[in-house]
Structure 1
């Protein structure tokens, strides 16, 4: 019965000063909203990235030269022959492709032009990149590559912008002052948070090398025969390349799993830093609750004296003011939680990712807000409970 009476009096006290109560809750609202938004965006974004990137092949890995090596630069550290040789000698590798970035190049057809990101590669690319699907025509073959045939495969968006309703297959376009034939159109799945609008095109590696004598292999993408074979394949590739090209530790080999781990570590660190900042704002909000409750105790000294004179015990006064601070914190926590979820929803919507709410974070936020109410409200409530009723009645 005393609990209900104390709760009713606490609510009456808050209603009597609505604006002050709201301003007191503001620090809690901002702190809780920040914690929930940061942790939800961090953990939800990390989970979405893992799901998205996993589509690109868990057995896939890539080798490239280290940027921090102390060895002299070797332009022939990776070669087309390496990509062709490795699947033949390694029992762990099912396919490999050599890649080279040609550059952003303009394609011309009749009076139209389209800038595309051209990459030189080999015929095994569709086997290494499971997200690449041919929608028209075909991808180039080993024979096309070995014979340096002037052919090109366009991304569907680039083909549509360049040819409109015309069938692109068999059309000739100008590329680096050369006439090349469009033999295929592909569509490639991309991660939801990829905001790049650049369209891609692929040409045979040897044809690109004919256009530019300085065309070098930037990386080699490979696919292991199974997930269990991934690590042995990576080690074998690194050892082979160092031995063949007479290097000690010149190469970096990374799998999709490694990329996910690196991303998780990065997002985890960012989330931790922002959570600490948001936590500081919660502490500041708690100090605000304590300050206002001390003011409230001072303003209601005579009321406390009257209650004690009528028989209210110390624990009744303590409970009343403690409930006021807890209600302030919990209401602020509720509003902050809703605001934090709303901010997260906007962030996920902008990144085109389904909303993933971390309910553990919401529960933690409510636990923290109630703890703040108890911790920062305990001193003012205890001060009110210790007031001498005679001195309180004399207070002006």
Structure 2
């Protein structure tokens, strides 16, 4: 029998039982769609993290107070034998003139302008922070280039915070209050990155000396070190550890993080999680296959007379098996294509609704889901099809299966 005749026979058999065929079609489509959506979630999370780390650049090191001695787990959140201070930063600047150093002090304060008040993060840093974190100045000027120890009552607002406090008015030159202190607005900046969930656009930058005075501390929350002239980061990290050990009387009580290395670790983790959720989605394909097998058994039982007639006309068992398997492949193929269409449609819709989270279906996932659907249909339809093909013609004509 020609392939076109085989497909026409399978199409007629499926359209004669529209209810059963529609149920099988929807089961396969739902299974394929679930695999695509779960894969898109894993891939979207991986791309989100990759974009956040890539935004910091591959030439940046982050120094944290506290030493993480064992592998795995989260970095220290601030506990250390000695804090990182501006004196440490000045010492590193003298020893390593080819790097940029950007200190960071973090607090949360009430910010008031007229009758409007907001609680927002306040970041104490220097103008170098604009370079290390690729902040774009929207209006005005950045933080002044003054000594880090100097407390100057000026600030630069994130674009989101500026909109909340001043609406359509220009904030440049205006005075705001941070807790009980007055600061004059020098400029407005915008950050293209959410900084791993931390919206810099909703924060406020002040000179690091002002932040240390405002929060009555000498400790830096983080110290960002940016390599210049293409310096490799690994030797630079070793040199920094050596200098900090020397500075802290032989104790290495800081941790250096390299965004590029962290990105590689996160990519491995997200790839593993993506495979795990794909495995969970594949269970739905297994359920759809079991449903397909049950419905195939019912279909073969209902069509014993038709199968017996084909055998009486001289159709061999191999042809009967071919016809029944063609029906299963046609059904799962159409269900798989429908699942692909629905899956891509939902991912596109989510991109419009949640543009900040880049859901994406990798090409291998679509091909794998369709191939698994076809393989599942073929595997689970084989048993009822082979059983019907082996049945003698007389038994088939009598309606026995």
| TM-score normalised by L of structure 2 | 0.88
Q: 1:249 to 1:391 in 2, by over 3 A?
A: farther
Equivalent positions of 1:108-147 (< 5 A) are 108-133=112-137, 135-143=139-147, 145-147=148-150
Question: How many angstroms apart in 2 are the aligned matches of 1:47 and 1:212?
Answer: 36
Equivalent of 2:335 in 310, 326, 332? 332
Question: How many angstroms apart in 1 are the aligned matches of 2:38 and 2:291?
Answer: 23
Question: How many angstroms apart in 2 are the aligned matches of 1:66 and 1:294?
Answer: 65
Per the alignment, residue 98 of structure 1 pairs with 103
Which of 82-91 and 325-334 deviates more?
Answer: 82-91
Equivalent positions of 1:173-252 (< 5 A) are 173-191=176-194, 196=199, 199-246=202-249, 248-252=251-255
Q: Secondary structure at the match of 1:142?
A: coil
Kept after mapping to 1: 8 A contact 2:66/2:80: no
Question: How many angstroms apart in 2 are the aligned matches of 1:88 and 1:16?
Answer: 85
Per the alignment, residue 14 of structure 1 pairs with 14
**1:314 and 2:322 correspond:** no
Question: How many angstroms apart in 1 are the aligned matches of 2:350 and 2:262?
Answer: 23
Using the TM superposition, give the Cα deviation of residue 155 of structure 1 relative to its aligned residue in structure 2, in angstroms: 1.6
Which of 41-50 and 31-40 deviates more?
Answer: 41-50
Question: How many angstroms apart in 2 are the aligned matches of 1:226 and 1:329?
Answer: 57
Q: Which stretches in structure 1 are left out of the alignment for 5+ residues?
A: none
Aligned positions, number: 393
Which of 278-287 and 208-217 deviates more?
Answer: 208-217
Using the TM superposition, give the Cα deviation of residue 182 of structure 1 relative to its aligned residue in structure 2, in angstroms: 1.9
Q: 1:12 to 1:247 in 2, by over 3 A?
A: farther
Per the alignment, residue 370 of structure 2 pairs with 366
4+ residue segments displaced more than 6 Å: none
Q: 1:367 to 1:385 in 2, by over 3 A?
A: same
Using the TM superposition, give the Cα deviation of residue 96 of structure 1 relative to its aligned residue in structure 2, in angstroms: 0.7
Q: 1:46 to 1:387 in 2, by over 3 A?
A: same
Using the TM superposition, give the Cα deviation of residue 123 of structure 1 relative to its aligned residue in structure 2, in angstroms: 3.6
Using the TM superposition, give the Cα deviation of residue 165 of structure 1 relative to its aligned residue in structure 2, in angstroms: 4.6
Using the TM superposition, give the Cα deviation of residue 75 of structure 1 relative to its aligned residue in structure 2, in angstroms: 6.2
Kept after mapping to 1: 8 A contact 2:24/2:292: yes
Kept after mapping to 2: 8 A contact 1:322/1:378: yes
Which of 347-356 and 176-185 deviates more?
Answer: 347-356
**1:3 and 2:11 correspond:** no
Question: How many angstroms apart in 2 are the aligned matches of 1:391 and 1:128?
Answer: 81
Q: Secondary structure at the match of 1:189?
A: coil
**1:295 and 2:301 correspond:** no
Question: How many angstroms apart in 2 are the aligned matches of 1:381 and 1:255?
Answer: 58
Q: Which stretches in structure 2 are left out of the alignment for 5+ residues?
A: 71-75
Kept after mapping to 1: 8 A contact 2:190/2:201: no
Kept after mapping to 2: 8 A contact 1:41/1:347: no
Using the TM superposition, give the Cα deviation of residue 232 of structure 1 relative to its aligned residue in structure 2, in angstroms: 1.4
Q: 1:302 to 1:67 in 2, by over 3 A?
A: farther
Q: Secondary structure at the match of 2:134?
A: coil
Per the alignment, residue 73 of structure 2 pairs with none
Per the alignment, residue 111 of structure 2 pairs with 107
Q: 1:64 to 1:102 in 2, by over 3 A?
A: same
Question: How many angstroms apart in 2 are the aligned matches of 1:197 and 1:233?
Answer: 28
Per the alignment, residue 76 of structure 1 pairs with 82
Equivalent of 1:343 in 343, 346, 353? 346
Q: Secondary structure at the match of 2:143?
A: coil
Kept after mapping to 2: 8 A contact 1:59/1:226: no
**Aligned Cα RMSD in Å?**
2.8
Per the alignment, residue 95 of structure 2 pairs with 89
Per the alignment, residue 266 of structure 1 pairs with 269
Question: How many angstroms apart in 2 are the aligned matches of 1:197 and 1:121?
Answer: 13
Kept after mapping to 2: 8 A contact 1:192/1:353: no
Which of 30-39 and 69-78 deviates more?
Answer: 69-78
Per the alignment, residue 389 of structure 2 pairs with 385
Deviations 1:220-279 (A, max 9, x none): 011011555222112222232233224655322112212322332332232122111111
Per the alignment, residue 32 of structure 2 pairs with 32
Using the TM superposition, give the Cα deviation of residue 219 of structure 1 relative to its aligned residue in structure 2, in angstroms: 1.0
Kept after mapping to 1: 8 A contact 2:162/2:188: yes
Kept after mapping to 1: 8 A contact 2:124/2:207: yes
Using the TM superposition, give the Cα deviation of residue 360 of structure 1 relative to its aligned residue in structure 2, in angstroms: 2.2
